[in-house]
Amino acid sequence: MVYPAVPSIEDIISSQSVLSAPDASSRVVRVDEVFAVKFGGTTSSTEAATLEYLSKQSDIPVPKFYTSFSDPRTDTYFIVMQYIEGITLEEALPTLTTEEKHDLVMQIREILQDLRSLESPNYLGSVNHLPYEDGVFYDTETLHPISGPFPSEDEFYAAI
């Protein structure tokens, strides 16, 4: 399959079509009619790897993953994915009937069941043997991360 050309950093930064909330930790913009690009803030390679994994290994509805990369000049991470036209759940929820809300809950239930049915790796950590990205996995005394991946539950519990 041939994908459209990935937008440049300049195209992404200059996009005026902002999709994220003004107070969001990361920025999401639309580029052309094809791409949604998330960058800055908490955007990470782990998030990109998770999106790519879910798109390839499950039927869970996620945007198509195109690529991800880091800008070494600014240390900003970018995730380039499919833009999907629609409205947010926050916008839709007040307009839904009780039956539609029930259907929505059932869809979310099915997605959670699909997530739980994915094969577990033989370690505790993020996708592709990456460490956890959470402040709880940081040793304030030695000032270094203790974020895994962990080969056993005992090592995981010892870290937290």
CA distances for 44 relative to 110, 123, 130, 132, 151, angstroms: 27, 20, 11, 11, 23
pLDDT tens, position by position, 45-57: 999 999 999 998 8
pLDDT, tens digit, for every residue of 53-105? Answer: 999 889 999 999 999 999 999 999 999 999 999 998 999 999 999 999 999 99
The answer on 131 and 70 residing in a single domain is no
- Whether residue 45 is contained in a domain is answered as yes
How many structural domains are present in the chain? 2
Question: Looking at the domain assignment, is residue 132 inside a domain?
Answer: yes
This prediction has a pTM of 0.83
Structural domain including 131 reads 127-159
Is 35 strand, coil or helix? strand
**CA quadruple 38, 22, 86, 100: dihedral positive or negative?**
positive
Instruction: Count CB neighbours of 135 within 10 A.
Output: 9
Phi, psi values for residue 146, rounded to 5°? -125, 55
